[in-house]
Amino acid sequence: MSSTNTGEAIAPTQKTIIITRFDPDKDEVPRKQEYSVPCEDNWKVLDAVNFIKDELDATVSHRWSCRMAVCGSCGMMVNGEPKLTCKTSLKEYGDRVDIEPLANFPIVRDLVVELDGFMHKFEAVKPWIKRAKEKAEDKAALHDTKLTFSQSAEELGNFKQFSMCINCMLCYSACPVVANEPDFLGPAAIALGHRYNMDSRDEGNAERNEIFRGEGTVFSCSFANECSEVCPKNVDPAAAVNQAKFEAVIDWAKGLVLPSPSSGGSN
């Protein structure tokens, strides 16, 4: 069994943690600051940042919350790789650990990046179940659980994986297309749109496929697969994006031969 819970406590190891610092009121451009931190054996990278914040330098700003790899707040670059810092063991790294804000995002302060652009993309894929008529719309008639949809294991399996995204944005930091083409919708947002397209309860495919055929969306992806490599939740956004390419094309081809179906109204 691991020493993390049963064995003797191990003496801490001193490491140099290098943090990117940026305060728009004081710094023209981001700079680096080094801290010497006594790191415990079972620490995650986040523990070292928290130690700095609590004990060494309270001016360091970063985001974190759940510390169990599900809220998605604490993504940072660790030695050049996008990592969820609460899930990444510090002992995997050497004496010097370079912690930077997520690449490809504007930096608000220190390790805090700007989410506005991401949130905008996130909303652009209309991430909600779209129905011509809501099943539970008539609330007066809603009296029991028969108003739920039926879904087979296979139907659930078609989208479940893509619903596991915690919006940590590591994929945007890893994606070479995002780095070159800032307006690219990007892995997480496309995976989210695709998740709803693949959900048997949803009827919004036509509308989302139209979005996906637009500029800077699925066909901007060069299938580098970097997003899936760094995803801490095995969502495999590259699969979603490339499946979405297929679907968008098939949907377009169908539109050529079949009369166009109504897209189900707005929102």
Partner 1 sequence: MEITRHDIVIVGGGGAGLRAAIEAAENNPTASIALVSKVYPMRSHTVSAEGGAAAVAREDDNLELHGFDTVKGSDFLGDQDAIQYFVQEAPKELALLENWGCPFSRNEDGSVATRAFGGMTTKRTWYATDKIGFHMLHALFQQSMRYKNIVRYDEFFVSKLLVDGGVCRGVAALDIRTGEYEAIVGRAVILTTGGGGKIFPFTTNGTIKTGDGMALAYRAGVPLKDMEFVQYHPTGLPGTGILITEATRGEGGYLRNSKGERFLVDYDYGVGNKAELGPRDMISRAIVQEIEAGRGLSGPYGDYVHLDLTHLGADTINAKLPFVRELAKTYVGVDPVTDPIPIRPVVHYMMGGVDTDIHGATEMPGLYAAGETACVSINGANRLGSNSLTECLVFGAAAARHAMEFSQGSSNGSDAALLAQVEEEAGRVENLRGRKKGGEKISEIRRELNAVMESGYGVYRQQDTMQSGVGAVAQLRGRVADLRLEDDSKVFNTELITALELANMVEVAEALAVSAAHRKESRGAHTCRDFTTRDDENYLYHTMAYHDPAGPRLGKKDVVLGKWEPEERKY
Partner 2 sequence: MAGPAHPHSMAPPKPGRTRAAPPQMPASWWNTSRMRTYLLFDATGIIYLLVGFVAIRMIRALAEGAGAWQAAMQSLENPIYIGFHLLSLISVIFVAVRFFRLFPKAQPPSIGPLKPPPGPVIHAALYAVWIGVTVVMSLALAGVIF
Binding residues for partner 1 restricted to 105-124, rule: CB under 8 A: 108-110, 112, 115, 119, 122-123
In the bound state with partner 2, the residue whose beta carbon lies nearer, of 107 and 166, is: 107
**Is 90 strand, coil or helix?**
helix
Choose the binding region for partner 1 from 1-9, 172-180, 219-227, 250-258 (rule: CB under 8 A).
1-9
* Residue 28 binding partner 1, by CB under 8 A: no
Residue 42 beta carbon to partner 2: minimum distance, rounded to whole angstroms: 26
C-beta neighbour count of 6 within 10 angstroms? 7
The CA-atom distances, in angstroms, between 233 and each of 102, 147, 212, 230, 236 are 17, 31, 24, 9, 8
Q: What ranges make up the beta strands (E) of the chain?
A: 13-21, 31-39, 75-78, 81-84, 96-100, 107-109, 112-113
**Residues that bind partner 2 in the complex, under the rule CB under 8 A:** 20, 22, 24, 27, 29-30, 32, 77, 79-81, 98, 100-101, 103-108, 113-114, 116-118, 120, 157-158, 172, 174, 176, 178-182, 198, 223-226, 229-230, 236, 238-239, 242-243, 245-247, 250
Alpha helix ranges (H) inside 79-204:
116-124, 153-160, 170-174, 176-180, 187-197
Which of partner 1, partner 2, none lies near 193, with the C-beta cut-off 5 to 8 A by kind? Answer: none
Q: Which of 16, 23, 38, 222 binds partner 1 (CB under 8 A)?
A: 23
Which of partner 2, partner 1, none lies near 58, with the C-beta cut-off 5 to 8 A by kind? Answer: partner 1
* Residue 206 binding partner 1, by CB under 8 A: no
Q: Which of 167, 225, 242, 263 binds partner 1 (CB under 8 A)?
A: 167
Written as six digits, the tokens of 22 are 């940026």
* Residue 207 binding partner 1, by CB under 8 A: no
Residue 148 beta carbon to partner 2: minimum distance, rounded to whole angstroms: 22
37-66: contacts with partner 1 (CB under 8 A): 42, 53-55, 57-59, 61-66
In the bound state with partner 2, the residue whose beta carbon lies nearer, of 136 and 250, is: 250
**For residue 25, what is the DSSP state?**
T
Q: How far apart are CA 238 and CA 228, in angstroms?
A: 6
Q: How far apart are CA 202 and CA 132, in angstroms?
A: 9
Choose the binding region for partner 1 from 70-78, 210-218, 242-250, 253-261 (rule: CB under 8 A).
70-78
Alpha carbon distance, N-terminus to C-terminus of the chain? 52
* Residue 82 binding partner 1, by CB under 8 A: no
In the bound state with partner 2, the residue whose beta carbon lies nearer, of 202 and 247, is: 247
How remote is the C-alpha of 13 from its chain's centroid? Answer: 32
The answer for residues whose C-beta is within 8 angstroms of residue 81's C-beta and 6 or more apart is 230
